[in-house]
């Protein structure tokens, strides 16, 4: 199987469809800026208002989701530390659960804190910094991605802040409710396949994934997080492991189709480690990187079903797997 380095592979779609990259914003924008401009080990408790916290709070912890911050809170515009003091976590929703320092718990709030630090130290907006560094488009966008129905964050929002209006799902705003409400760091950038190709070539050329793909912390489930990327396990690891060394370069796979195949064998057992690192996005896109041969594979797809419903995480996994199979083919 021959794959030309730097090639753009489109399984379907013109390459001109616009995608909300959602959480791919974290490694492509926020983590890259953090590695470029921030001291990863300085204690940031006082800067971020966590005066009562017993343990240090570092960018290294925030990048690896091991700071002890919860996964998610509705964005109210107030300082994060003040919001946590005012509104203890209800704990009845998976997005509102507590976390332990030193253990990875995927957290949008950690990347919000990184973006706030970047703005304080550099005196520029996170969106300006991110657009200049990545070449990606910050929201609000001139082009609208495929609209998605409300997700689990709508339920969590109502539970955590029942008196705060749910953000308007404007067509040119991110699907992530916090991002469209104004929260920085965790989501809010988008791209076409062609734009993403150019951005990833820049990202790989600057060797940001080399700094991010460093085993740093584990979750309760055994997932391994680095400083912006996560080790690939399960079915993705099985498929990606079939790609021979030497397939380096940036490969963007696009599938704008709403049709999916639901018949799929269960994922294999979790693997201790694999050569690939990843980041997944709530809206569908995914990113996989292997440092050994500089292989970078990005998947662009939408989390919208053929009937207009929001795909479940399992259905979304199937869609991603089908795109990967096309790449392998």
Give residues with Cβ within 8 angstroms of 149, minimum separation 6. Answer: 304, 308, 309, 310
Does any domain span residue 157?
yes
In which band, very low, low, confident or very high, does the pLDDT at 262 lie, cut at 50, 70 and 90? Answer: low
Residues above pLDDT 90, as percent of the chain: 80
Closest CA to 26 of 152, 241, 161, 185: 185
CA distance 299 to 282: 13
Mean pLDDT computed over 114-124: 97
pLDDT at 188 over 70: yes
The reply to whether 191 falls in a domain is: yes
Number of domains in the chain: 1
pLDDT for position 3:
35
Q: What is the pLDDT of residues 44-59, one digit of tens each?
A: 999 999 999 999 999 9
Over the stretch 69-117, which tens digit does the pLDDT of each residue have? 999 999 999 999 999 998 777 768 899 999 999 999 999 999 999 999 9
Give the pLDDT band (50/70/90) at residue 206.
very high
7 or 233, which is more confident: 233
Q: Which two tokens stand for residue 329?
A: 């083919």
Confidence category of residue 4, pLDDT binned at 50, 70, 90: very low
Q: Is 284 exposed, middle or buried (0-12, 13-18, 19+ CB in 10 A)?
A: buried
- On whether residue 89 sits in a domain, the answer given is yes
139 part of a folded domain: yes
Q: What is the mean pLDDT of residues 307-323?
A: 91
Q: What CATH number should be reported for the domain holding residue 77? A: 3.40.710
Residue 181 in any domain: the answer is yes
Q: What pLDDT shows up at residue 264? A: 53
Domain that residue 140 falls in: 8-328
Indicate if the pLDDT at residue 11 is higher than 60.
no
Q: For the sheet with 19-20, list strands across it.
A: 19-20, 189-191, 137-138
Looking at every residue in the chain, the average pLDDT score rounds to: 90
Residue 5 has pLDDT above 90, yes or no: no
Decide if 145 is inside a domain. Answer: yes
* Predicted pLDDT at 266: 55
Residues 190-216 have a mean pLDDT of 98
Domain assignment present for residue 3? The answer is no
Q: Hey, what are 245's tokens?
A: 């060394």
Q: How confident is the model at residue 257 (pLDDT cuts 50, 70, 90)?
A: confident
**Does residue 2 belong to any structural domain of this protein?**
no
Provide the pLDDT confidence category of residue 267 given band limits of 50, 70 and 90.
low
User: What confidence score (pLDDT) does residue 87 get?
Assistant: 79
Residue 13's pLDDT is: 54
Q: What is the pLDDT of residue 252?
A: 97
């Amino acid at each position: 199987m021959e794959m030309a380095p730097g090639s753009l592979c489109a399984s379907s779609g013109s390459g001109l469809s616009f995608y909300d990259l959602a959480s791919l914003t974290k490694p492509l924008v926020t983590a890259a800026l953090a590695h470029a401009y921030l001291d990863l080990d300085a204690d940031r408790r006082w800067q971020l208002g966590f005066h009562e916290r017993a343990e240090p709070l570092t960018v290294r912890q925030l990048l690896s989701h091991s700071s002890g911050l919860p996964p998610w809170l509705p964005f109210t515009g107030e300082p994060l530390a003040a919001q946590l003091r005012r509104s203890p976590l209800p704990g009845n929703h998976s997005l509102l659960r507590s976390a332990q320092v030193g253990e990875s718990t995927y957290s949008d709030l950690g990347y919000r804190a990184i973006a706030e630090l970047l703005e304080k130290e550099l005196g520029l907006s996170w969106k300006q910094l991110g657009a200049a560094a990545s070449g990606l488009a910050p929201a609000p966008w001139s082009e609208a991605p495929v609209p998605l129905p409300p997700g689990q964050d709508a339920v969590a929002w109502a539970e955590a802040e029942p008196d705060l209006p749910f953000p308007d799902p404007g067509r040119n705003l991110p699907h992530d409710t916090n991002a469209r409400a104004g929260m920085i760091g965790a989501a809010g950038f988008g791209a076409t396949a062609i734009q993403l190709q150019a951005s990833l070539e820049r990202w790989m050329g600057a060797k940001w994934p080399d700094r991010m793909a460093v085993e740093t912390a584990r979750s309760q489930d055994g997932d391994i997080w680095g400083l912006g990327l996560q080790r690939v396990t399960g079915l993705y690891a099985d498929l990606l492991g079939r790609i021979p060394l030497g397939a380096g370069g940036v490969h963007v796979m696009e599938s704008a189709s709403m049709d999916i195949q639901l018949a799929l064998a269960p994922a294999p057992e979790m693997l201790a480690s694999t050569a690939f690192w990843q980041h997944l996005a709530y809206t569908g896109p995914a990113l996989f990187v292997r440092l050994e041969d500089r292989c970078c594979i990005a998947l662009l797809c939408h989390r919208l079903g053929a009937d207009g419903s929001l795909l479940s995480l399992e259905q979304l996994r199937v869609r991603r797997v089908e795109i990967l199979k096309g790449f392998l083919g």
